């Protein structure tokens, strides 16, 4: 079962618009050295929405090559067109990835039956395990617990990333799936509570910035040391909030740039650099955490 702290990895880019391969390789090494339990390549934080398919596939291959099997790599394969998601899945299945993260189709607002058919078709297109990804704040459509229960019967659908931030959904889902169905929080602000209430891991934006602390928090929670897990998380409450004062991944990229972990904070349009007030806010937090020096 997938478990622990999986980093929703940013995709570094140069000012020219090209993928910054050197920074990407350095990030992968840093996350492995910091104890991250896995990487999610080209999900929302990796700017999947604005990478063309060939680049999407290339970045996943690069991350797999850099990781060299040392930690699991899960590839984002979501699309609002089922055929596109299947194509991406089959192309990326040629690499040594460990599974897929598949987001609820966005913009077209499919019915629950449509979402079930969509995910079943993607899961049947390869032999690799697939995590469902429910983030209604971005997709508008909300994958209901009853639909998750139905999808969990598929042999290749092995878990869920729940980014609703609603902890009641965790109890509801646990009641209708097997114990080996991996339940991940996709909401950093409530991720620690999610683990302490029986979740198996986090797919985390915050882990881009403090991978070791996030890994240690997950280890503590999974070992039932909830006091330690909450103590570690308390240090990050402000960071969890400030990384989302502008749409993800604007703030994580700026933070990594200020920390010297990436060469440039560039994003693909229509995403742009953070406002000056947002820059100052995250820089103050990074300084407070000892991650940069004024």
pLDDT, tens digit (0-9, with 9 covering 90-100), for 99-109: 999 999 999 99
* pLDDT tens-digit series, residues 66-80: 999 999 999 999 999
**Looking at residue 57, what is its pLDDT?**
98
Which of 161, 194, 253, 257 is catalytic? The answer is: 161
Question: For the residues 148-166, what does the mean pLDDT come to?
Answer: 98
> How distant, in Å, are the alpha carbons of 123, 145, 152, 184 from that of 174?
21, 10, 11, 12
**Looking at residue 222, what is its pLDDT?**
98
* pLDDT tens-digit series, residues 89-126: 999 999 999 999 999 999 999 999 999 999 999 999 99
Share of the chain above pLDDT 90, in %: 99
For the beta carbon of residue 184, count every other beta carbon within 10 angstroms: 29
For residue 137, is pLDDT > 90?
yes
**Looking at residue 294, what is its pLDDT?**
75
Reading the block at residue 102, the tokens are 């598949």
For residue 170, is pLDDT > 90?
yes
Cut 0.75: pTM above it = yes
Q: Are 261 and 25 in contact (CB under 8 A)?
A: no
> Which residue shows structure tokens 């280890």?
219
Cis peptide before 249 (omega within 30 of 0): yes
For residue 1, is pLDDT > 90?
no
Which of 133, 194, 253, 261 is catalytic? The answer is: 133
For residue 244, is pLDDT > 80?
yes
Q: State the average pLDDT for the chain.
A: 97
Share of the chain above pLDDT 70, in %: 100
For residue 134, is pLDDT > 90?
yes
Q: Which distant-in-sequence residues (6+ apart) come within 8 Å of 159 by Cβ?
A: 1, 2, 129, 131, 132, 181, 182, 183, 184, 200
Domains of the chain: 4-235 (3.20.20.70)
The confidence band for 180, taking pLDDT boundaries of 50, 70 and 90, is very high
Nearest-10 Cα torsion for 179, 185, 190, 194:
10
Question: For the residues 142-171, what does the mean pLDDT come to?
Answer: 98
The confidence band for 173, taking pLDDT boundaries of 50, 70 and 90, is very high
| CA dist., res. 202 & res. 17, Å (int) | 30
For residue 198, is pLDDT > 90?
yes
If DSSP states are collapsed to H, E and C, what string results for the chain? CCCEEEEECCCCECCCCCECHHHHHHHHHHHHHCCCCEEEECCCCCCCCCCCHHHHHHHHHHHHHHHCCCCCEEEECCCCCHHHHHHHHHHHCCCCCCEEEEECCCCCCCCHHHHHHHHHHHHHCCCCCEEEEECHHHHCCCCCHHHHHHHCCCCCEEEEEECCCCHHHHHHHHCCCCCCCEEEECCHHHHHHHHHCCCCEEEECHHHCCHHHHHHHHHHHHCCCHHHHHHHHHCCHHHHHHCCCCCCCHHHHHHHHHCCCCCCCCCCCCCCCCCHHHHHHHHHHHHHCCCCCC
Question: For the residues 205-211, what does the mean pLDDT come to?
Answer: 98
> How distant, in Å, are the alpha carbons of 40, 44, 120, 259, 269 from that of 47?
12, 5, 25, 20, 10
For residue 261, is pLDDT > 90?
yes
Instruction: Write b or e for each residue in 244-259: b if 16 or more Cβ atoms lie within 10 A of its Cβ, otherwise e.
Output: bebebbbbbbbbbbbe
| CA dist., res. 4 & res. 49, Å (int) | 26
Q: Is 161 one of the catalytic residues?
A: yes
Question: For the residues 25-50, what does the mean pLDDT come to?
Answer: 98
Q: Which of 269, 252, 254 is nearest to 9 (CA)?
A: 252
| CA dist., res. 209 & res. 241, Å (int) | 13
Q: Which of 43, 53, 22 is nearest to 260 (CA)?
A: 22
């Amino acid at each position: 079962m997938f478990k622990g702290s999986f980093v929703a990895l940013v995709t570094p880019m140069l000012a020219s618009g090209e993928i910054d391969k050197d920074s990407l390789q350095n990030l992968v090494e840093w996350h492995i050295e910091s104890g991250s339990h896995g990487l999610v390549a080209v999900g929302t934080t990796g700017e999947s929405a604005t990478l063309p398919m060939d680049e999407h596939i290339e970045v996943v291959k690069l991350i797999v090559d850099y990781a060299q099997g040392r930690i699991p790599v899960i590839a984002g394969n979501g699309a609002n067109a089922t055929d596109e998601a299947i194509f991406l899945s089959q192309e990326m299945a040629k690499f040594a990835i460990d599974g897929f993260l598949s987001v609820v189709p966005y913009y077209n607002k499919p019915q629950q039956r449509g979402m079930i058919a969509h995910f079943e078709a993607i899961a049947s297109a390869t032999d690799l395990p697939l995590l469902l990804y429910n983030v209604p704040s971005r997709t508008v459509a909300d994958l209901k617990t009853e639909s998750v229960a139905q999808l969990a019967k598929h042999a290749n659908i092995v878990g869920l990333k729940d980014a609703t931030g609603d902890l009641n959904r965790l109890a509801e889902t646990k009641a209708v799936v097997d114990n080996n169905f991996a339940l991940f929080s996709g909401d950093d602000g409530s991720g620690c509570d999610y683990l302490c209430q029986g979740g198996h891991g986090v797919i985390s934006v915050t882990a881009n910035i403090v991978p070791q602390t996030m890994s240690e928090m997950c280890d503590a929670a999974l070992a039932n040391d909830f006091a330690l897990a909450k103590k570690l998380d308390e240090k990050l409450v402000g960071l969890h909030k400030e990384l989302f004062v502008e749409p993800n991944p604007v703030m994580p990229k700026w933070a990594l740039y200020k920390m010297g972990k990436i060469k440039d904070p560039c994003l693909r349009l229509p995403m742009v650099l953070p406002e000056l007030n947002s820059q100052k806010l995250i820089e103050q937090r990074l300084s407070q955490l000892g991650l940069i020096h004024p």
